[in-house]
Structure 1
């Protein structure tokens, strides 16, 4: 049993459709952008408590 009732062959078919729609180059750039956004979000969340303690 896979993710929420989706089996492995179904996941592979979905992955192939996504690759055909967007292409590998665009998917890799989207992955880099998403990773950079997550990194920035984590940094902002981590820095927030320090900024509040310095104000007090």
Structure 2
């Protein structure tokens, strides 16, 4: 994932725990998961709308 190995992931996790504290890490993970889920759902809704109505394609400004 992104060219990161286990040692790099461990260092990132350690820094996150030092900065935010162990109690905040699950809350941050939950918030990040909700944001990613919302982004994914929005992308699916956009593609479904475009597939249903190809005349509504987004203009590129020209």
TM > 0.5: yes
Aligned CA distance change for structure 1 residues 48 and 13 (closer, same or farther; 3 Å): closer
Give the superposed CA RMSD.
Answer: 2.8
Off by >3 Å, runs of 4+ in structure 1: 10-14
Aligned CA distance change for structure 1 residues 49 and 18 (closer, same or farther; 3 Å): closer
Q: Which residue of 1 aligns with 2:18?
A: 20
- Can you give the 5+ residue segments of structure 2 that lack an aligned partner in the other structure? 56-62
Q: How far apart, CA to CA, are the structure 1 residues paired with 2:49 and 2:6?
A: 46
Q: Which residue of 2 aligns with 1:36?
A: 34
Cα deviations by residue, 1:14-56 (Å, 9 ceiling, x for unpaired):
4323212211221111110000000011111011122232475
Give the TM-score normalised by structure 2. 0.58
Q: Which has the higher helix share?
A: 1
Aligned CA distance change for structure 1 residues 22 and 54 (closer, same or farther; 3 Å): same
Size of the alignment, in residue pairs?
52
